[in-house]
A and B are shown apart, each in its own frame.
Chain A
């Protein structure tokens, strides 16, 4: 029989910038300076376009060193596929929220949000973030009812087997429910769209780096790990 096809997003994937307290605090002293001139008010988002989607296990071509952003994506449900009401309490706990349309989240998925390093957050980052294959996805969308408390999850990033980062989802600036509500205040996510919770930096403000030949593994309790290998981009 055919194996289950690898999970890939059905809709548009949105990333969230500066949504971890550590990176936000590192940036805070510079936020009032040009060119930013003020701290961000609304969620700062970017789009990971379809060409970036890379399935679990896929090789991803890179032109040099890349930053690895481990994150969790909320997958918007089809309005006809709300989770059975028996799971209401668990789902509510999973997203710990005041969000009225919490039941519209089908589940959560591990993502490897890759980027070329860029020092400025002033201009849109497509050249850095929207290269082919720059979003490792999956291997599966896990229902909220199976996750427990999203805000209590820790993601680990291993590169060639070595632990390089632990991402603590209790340290988000906007937790999953708040982020979803603040985003949907100005744009409605469609069924299949994915909202990424953001990627954390290390203590010095950098992110784990990887290059061709490296194997990236992102894992979290209750999730099958997401693995992608990096290969050299053809000249």
Chain B
């Protein structure tokens, strides 16, 4: 059973694994050293990509039937997905900037799938063999900037600091049924969003089959699988925790833009 983290500590980036409520460093110089969670800076739990292969980040716009209803859409007939850049990713316990003019900025708690093997034309039945592991993503959206051109447009979904991810990359082998995990989001300790991955319109194997039918996925690529019902505006100061059963609890704090 391994939960992997990528952290900054003592002037360098380290791989660590969870050990009885602490972080056990895996980097050779400090191998075995234990650190408390609040001693480190948490980075996205993802390895660097090779040269000339920036990370592909695919995100589902409407992939829970109840969220589709909430947003007044019919559930889509094929996955409704968009691509993001990796630059909006930040780690656990980090700060996300709320623009001064935003009136509706909401979290989206999502199961994030990390690809482990090059995947092209993968069939649904084989899809789990291509998964490295799972983590939690919070794919913030700022609805004030929504426009109906390639919607959801990148001004809503691809902003600096607006995609917290982590804290752990959990090995796929340690998640026996990724399609039956409870999700919840709390804001300042109050539960605002609850769901279960079993209510996805398109499940993880279907998504891998769909994407890999026309594009090759590489190790380290991400699929953010969409969010259920229950999104609310988060003002500056909100402490937002997105939790997925068995995967982790991703903490984030909303801060004001500095001008």
Rounded to whole Å, the gap between the CB of B26 and the closest CB of chain A is 27
Of A45, A51, A193, which one neighbours B153 at CB under 8 angstroms? Answer: A45
> Is the CB–CB distance between A123 and B150 below 8 Å?
yes
12 A-B pairs with CB atoms under 8 Å apart are: A12-B54, A12-B85, A17-B150, A40-B147, A45-B158, A123-B150, A124-B82, A126-B81, A132-B120, A187-B88, A190-B87, A193-B85
With A and B bound together, what is the CA distance between A40 and B217 in angstroms?
31
> Is the CB–CB distance between B83 and A38 below 8 Å?
no
The residues in A between 89 and 103 inclusive whose CB is less than 8 angstroms from any CB of B are: none
Of B120, B153, B215, which one neighbours A42 at CB under 8 angstroms? Answer: B153
Identify the closest chain A residue to B211 (Cβ): A126
B residues contacting A by CB (< 8 A) are 49, 51-56, 58, 61, 80-88, 120, 145, 147-155, 158-160, 214-218
Of A10, A41, A47, A132, which one neighbours B84 at CB under 8 angstroms? Answer: A47
Of B84, B147, B152, which one neighbours A38 at CB under 8 angstroms? Answer: B147
Of B56, B151, B158, which one neighbours A50 at CB under 8 angstroms? Answer: B56
Identify the closest chain A residue to B88 (Cβ): A187
A131 at the interface (CB under 8 A from B): yes
Prevailing SS type, chain B contact patch: loop
The residues in A between 25 and 50 inclusive whose CB is less than 8 angstroms from any CB of B are: 35-38, 40-47, 49-50
With A and B bound together, what is the CA distance between A119 and B150 in angstroms?
12
> Is the CB–CB distance between A126 and B83 below 8 Å?
yes
Identify the closest chain B residue to A31 (Cβ): B149
> Is the CB–CB distance between A10 and B159 below 8 Å?
no
Rounded to whole Å, the gap between the CB of B208 and the closest CB of chain A is 14
Are A10 and B51 also in contact (CB < 8 A) when A49-B215, A50-B218 are?
yes
> Is the CB–CB distance between B87 and A193 below 8 Å?
yes
With A and B bound together, what is the CA distance between A124 and B151 in angstroms?
6
> Is the CB–CB distance between B87 and A51 below 8 Å?
no
> Is the CB–CB distance between A121 and B215 below 8 Å?
no
The residues of A that contact B80 with a CB separation of less than 8 Å are 123-124
Are A126 and B54 also in contact (CB < 8 A) when A12-B87, A51-B216 are?
no
Identify the closest chain A residue to B59 (Cβ): A124
Rounded to whole Å, the gap between the CB of A43 and the closest CB of chain B is 8
> Is the CB–CB distance between B150 and A125 below 8 Å?
yes
With A and B bound together, what is the CA distance between A50 and B85 in angstroms?
11
A123-159 toward B: CB 8 Å interface, digit per residue (1/0)?
A: 1111100111000000000000000000000000000
